[in-house]
Structure formats: C-alpha cells, structure tokens
Structure 1
Amino acid sequence: MASDLDFSPPEVPEPTFLEDLLRYGLFLGAIFQLICVLAIIVPIPKSYEAEFHLKA
C-alpha cells in the first residue's frame, strides 16, 4: 500500500504565448492603475508661470 503513493510533482505544461501575453498585460494594467491612483492621491503643485499666463 505504501508503494501506491506517488509523491512526484505533477507535470505542469509550459505556458502558451497567449497565456504569457495575458499575464504581462494584466501586470502592466495593474501598474497603470497604481499610477492613476497615486496621481489622484499625490497632488502636484502648480507653477506660478502657469497661473500668471492664465490671469493675463
């Protein structure tokens, strides 16, 4: 009975091109979303030159 147990790791097929494309696309999408959220949270101070040109 002890000889019936198979402790070898399962064979996992290599990812296809489309699976790799999906993985990297989701990764880049997540980075883009983090940049967008940080752009909302962290304000960028306006320069005085831009305010001067808008008033004139």
Structure 2
Amino acid sequence: MASDLDFSPPEVPEPTFLENLLRYGLFLGAIFQLICVLAIIIPVPKSHEAELHV
C-alpha cells in the first residue's frame, strides 16, 4: 500500500509570456498604489517661495 503513493513533485508548466506580463504588471501597479497612498499620508512641507501673497 505504501508503494502506491507517489511523493514526487507535481509537474508545473513554465509561465507563459502573458502570465509573466500580468504578474509584473500587477506588481508594478501595487508599488504605484503604495507610492500614491504614502504621498497622501506623508505631508510634504511647502517652501515659503512657492506661497503667493495677495
């Protein structure tokens, strides 16, 4: 009975070009979203030169 079990790793096909494109596109999109969220959370100090005095 123990000889019937096959513990070899399953055959996983190589990812295609479109699968790689999707993976890296999603990764870059996630980084872009993190940068956008951090830009909202972290305030950037305004320089005094940029302020307009009316």
Superposition TM-score, scaled by structure 2 size: 0.94
| Higher fraction of helix | 1
Q: Per-residue deviation at 1:2?
A: 1.5
Moved over 3 A (4+): none
Identity of aligned residues (%): 89
1:38 aligns with 2:38: yes
CA RMSD of aligned residues (A): 0.9
Alignment-derived partner of residue 4 in structure 1: 4
Q: Per-residue deviation at 1:55?
A: 1.6
Alignment-derived partner of residue 55 in structure 1: 53
Q: Per-residue deviation at 1:14?
A: 0.1
Unpaired segments ≥5 residues, structure 1: none
- Equivalent residues, number: 54
Unpaired segments ≥5 residues, structure 2: none
- Measure, in 2, the Cα distance between the counterparts of 1:55 and 1:18: 54
Superposition TM-score, scaled by structure 1 size: 0.91
